[in-house]
Amino acid sequence: MSAKDNKDSPYIAFHQSVKFTFDGVKYKGFKGDTIASALIRNNIKIIGRSFKYHRPRGIYTCGIEEPNALVQILSEYSEPNTRATVKQIYEGLKIESQNRWPSLENDLSSVNNLLSPLFSAGFYNKTFMKPRGFWKKVYEPLIRKAAGLGKPPKPFKTKSTQLHHHVDIVIVGGGLSGLLAAKSLAKTKLKVLLIEQDSYLGGILKNSNKISTIESKDRASWIKDVETEIEYSKNIKVLKNTLATTYNYINYLIAIEDLTTGMMPLEGHADQILHKIRADHIILANGHIERLISFRNNDLPGIMLAGSFEKYIQRYGVIPNISPVIFSNNSSSFSLIKILIDLNCKPQAYVDSRSGDKIESSLLDIIHKENIPLFTNAHVEGCDGKKQVEEISIRDSEGIITKLKSKMLCISGGFNPDVHLFTQSKGVLTWDDKYLTFKPSKSFQNTIVIGSAGGLFQYSKLANDIDSKLSFLNHEPIVNINFELNESDNYSIEKLWETKHEKKSRWSKSFIDLQNDVTTKDLRQGIREGFDRIEHLKRFTTNSMGTDQGKISSINALGIVSEILNKKVSEVGTTIYRPPYAPLSFASIAGRSTYNFYDPERKTSIHEWHKKNGAVFENVGQWKRPWYFQSYLEENLDQAVQREALQIRKYAGVLDGSTLGKIEIKGSDALEFMNLMYTNNFSKMKPMSARYALMLGEDGMIMDDGIISKINDNHFIATTTTGGAAKVLSHMEEFSQTEWPHLNVFMNSITEQFCTFNISGPKTRLIMEKVFKHIKFDNESFPFMTFNNFTYLDSTIRILRASFTGELGYEIYVRPSIALKLWEDLFRFGKDEGLIAYGTETMHLLRAEKGYIIVGQDTDGSVTPQDMDLEWMIGKSKKDFIGKRSLTRSDTIRSDRKQLVGIKPINQKNIIEEGQHIILSSNVKPPVKMLGHVTSSYMSPNLGHSFGMAVIKDGKNLIGSRAYVSSSSRDAYEVEIMKSVFIDDENKRLVS
Amino acid sequence: MKNLISSNSVDIKELNLNQILVRGLYTPSLNKQIKSQFKISLPQNNLQINQDKNIICSKNSFDQWSIILFQQLEFEIDNAIAKINEDEKILATNYSEGQIYLEISGENKISILNKITHFDFREKHFPLSTSAQTLIGRVDCNIYNLGNRLLVTCNRSFGDHLKDQLIDAIKF
**Nearest 5 degrees, angle CA B111-CA B112-CA B116?**
110
User: What ipTM was estimated for this complex?
Assistant: 0.97
For chain B, what's the residue count? 172
Closest chain A residue to the Cα of B97, Cα to Cα: A753
Interface test with A, best of B88, B157, B162, B163 (most A CBs within 10 A): B157
Contact B93 A597 (CB under 8 A): no
Cα A532 from Cα A555, distance rounded (Å): 16
For residue A883, the Cα-to-chain-centroid distance in whole angstroms is 41
Q: Are A549 and A409 in contact (CB under 8 A)?
A: no
Among partner residues B78, B137, B157, which is closest to A603 by beta-carbon distance?
B157
* Residue A970, pLDDT score: 84
Half-sphere exposure of B168 (CA within 13 A, CB side): 22
Q: Does B107 contact A at CB distance below 8 Å? A: no
Cα A408 from Cα A290, distance rounded (Å): 17
H or E element in which residue A183 lies: helix A176-185
Cα A334 from Cα A320, distance rounded (Å): 18
For chain A, what's the residue count? 992
Is the CA virtual torsion A141, A143, A146, A148 positive or negative?
A: negative
Contact B172 A270 (CB under 8 A): yes
What's the topology of domain A154-290+414-494+581-598? FAD/NAD(P)-binding domain (3.50.50)
- Quick check: A420 pLDDT over 80? yes
In degrees and rounded to multiples of 5, residue A15 shows phi and psi of -85, -5
Using a CB-CB cut-off of 8 Å, the residues of chain B touching A687 are none
Closest chain A residue to the Cα of B16, Cα to Cα: A817
Task: Render the burial of A2-33: b for 16+ CB within 10 Å, e for the rest.
Answer: ebbbbeebbbbeeeeebebebbeeebebbbbb
Contact B172 A796 (CB under 8 A): no
Provide the mean pLDDT of chain A. 95
Cα B123 from Cα A140, distance rounded (Å): 57
In degrees and rounded to multiples of 5, residue A977 shows phi and psi of -90, 130
Cα B39 from Cα B51, distance rounded (Å): 10
Interface test with A, best of B156, B162, B171 (most A CBs within 10 A): B156
Q: Give CATH 3.30.70.1520 domain extents, chain B.
A: 18-97
Closest chain B residue to the Cα of A819, Cα to Cα: B97
Which residue type occupies B36? Answer: S
Is the CA virtual torsion A756, A762, A767, A772 positive or negative?
A: positive
* Residue A287, pLDDT score: 98
Percentage of chain A exceeding pLDDT 70: 100
Backbone angle region of A894, left / alpha / beta, with phi > 0 → left and psi within -120 to 50 → alpha: beta
- Quick check: A146 pLDDT over 70? yes
Query: Superfamily for A511-572?
Result: BFD-like [2Fe-2S]-binding domain (1.10.10.1100)
Angle between helices A725-734 and A670-677 (to 10 degrees): 120
Residues 6+ apart with CB under 8 A from A730: none
- Return the number of other C-beta atoms located less than 10 Å from residue A715's C-beta: 18
- Quick check: A925 pLDDT over 80? no
**Across-strand partners of A48?**
A57
Cα A121 from Cα A236, distance rounded (Å): 49
3-state secondary structure of B63: coil
* Residue A147, pLDDT score: 81
Q: Are A508 and A297 in contact (CB under 8 A)?
A: yes
In DSSP notation, A230-246 reads HHH-SSEEEE-SEEEEE
Query: Superfamily for B18-97?
Result: Heterotetrameric sarcosine oxidase (3.30.70.1520)
Task: Render the burial of A942-968: b for 16+ CB within 10 Å, e for the rest.
Answer: beebbbbbbbbbebbebeeeebbbbbe
Among partner residues A601, A794, A815, which is closest to B161 by beta-carbon distance?
A601
Closest chain B residue to the Cα of A159, Cα to Cα: B172
Instruction: Provide mean pLDDT across the span A812-829.
Output: 98
Are domains A4-104+294-412 and A154-290+414-494+581-598 of this chain identical in fold? yes
* Residue A675, pLDDT score: 98
How would residue A479 be classed by pLDDT, with cut points 50, 70 and 90?
A: confident
Instruction: Provide mean pLDDT across the span A489-500.
Output: 94
In DSSP notation, A408-432 reads -EEEE--EEE--HHHHHTTPEEEEE
- Quick check: A640 pLDDT over 80? yes
Among partner residues A165, A276, A597, which is closest to B165 by beta-carbon distance?
A597
CATH number listed for the domain at residues A4-104+294-412: 3.50.50.60
Contact A664 B93 (CB under 8 A): yes
Cα A623 from Cα A407, distance rounded (Å): 66
- Quick check: A962 pLDDT over 70? yes
Q: Are A185 and A475 in contact (CB under 8 A)?
A: yes
CATH number listed for the domain at residues B2-15+98-171: 3.30.1360.120
Contact A752 B99 (CB under 8 A): yes
Q: Are A243 and A585 in contact (CB under 8 A)?
A: no
Residues 6+ apart with CB under 8 A from A142: none
Highest mean pLDDT among A77-81, A129-133, A179-183: A179-183
Cα A956 from Cα A950, distance rounded (Å): 11
Cα A448 from Cα A803, distance rounded (Å): 67
In DSSP notation, A787-798 reads EEEEEETTEEEE
Contact B74 A795 (CB under 8 A): yes
Q: Are A171 and A181 in contact (CB under 8 A)?
A: yes
* Residue A833, pLDDT score: 97
**C-alpha separations of A548 from A72, A286, A551 in Å:** 17, 16, 6
Q: Give how far B144 is from chain A: nearest CA, Å.
A: 19
- Quick check: A573 pLDDT over 70? yes
Instruction: Provide mean pLDDT across the span A427-452.
Output: 97
Round to the nearest angstrom and report the end-to-end CA distance of chain A.
Answer: 100
Residue A648 class from Cβ within 10 Å (0-12 exposed, 13-18 middle, 19+ buried)? buried
How would residue A840 be classed by pLDDT, with cut points 50, 70 and 90?
A: very high
Instruction: Provide mean pLDDT across the span A570-584.
Output: 91
Residues 6+ apart with CB under 8 A from A876: none
pLDDT tens-digit readout, A10-69:
999 999 999 999 999 999 999 999 999 999 999 999 999 999 999 999 999 999 999 999
Q: Are A833 and A766 in contact (CB under 8 A)?
A: yes
Strands across the sheet containing A715-720: A689-696, A702-712, A715-720, A661-666, A746-749
Using a CB-CB cut-off of 8 Å, the residues of chain B touching A163 are 111, 114-115
* Residue A1, pLDDT score: 60
Cα A701 from Cα A354, distance rounded (Å): 79
Instruction: Provide mean pLDDT across the span A667-691.
Output: 97
CATH architecture of A894-992: Beta Barrel (2.40)
Instruction: Provide mean pLDDT across the span A412-436.
Output: 97
* Residue A883, pLDDT score: 97
**C-alpha separations of A519 from A117, A526, A670, A776, A909 in Å:** 12, 11, 75, 90, 69
3-state secondary structure of A79: strand
**C-alpha separations of A691 from A402, A466, A730, A801, B57 in Å:** 99, 73, 22, 11, 36
Residues 6+ apart with CB under 8 A from A26: A19, A20
pLDDT tens-digit readout, A351-371:
999 999 999 999 999 999 999
Q: Give how far A619 is from chain B: nearest CA, Å.
A: 14
Query: Superfamily for A607-658+755-846?
Result: Probable tRNA modification gtpase trme; domain 1 (3.30.1360.120)
Q: Give CATH 3.30.1360.120 domain extents, chain B.
A: 2-15+98-171
Domain A661-749 has CATH 3.30.70.1400: yes
Residues 6+ apart with CB under 8 A from A136: none
For chain B, count helices (H), then strands (E).
4, 11
Cα A12 from Cα A456, distance rounded (Å): 31
Q: Could you tell me which of A734, A953, A961 has the C-alpha nearest to residue A863?
A: A953
Task: Parse chain A into domains and list their residue ranges.
Answer: 4-104+294-412, 154-290+414-494+581-598, 511-572, 607-658+755-846, 661-749, 894-992
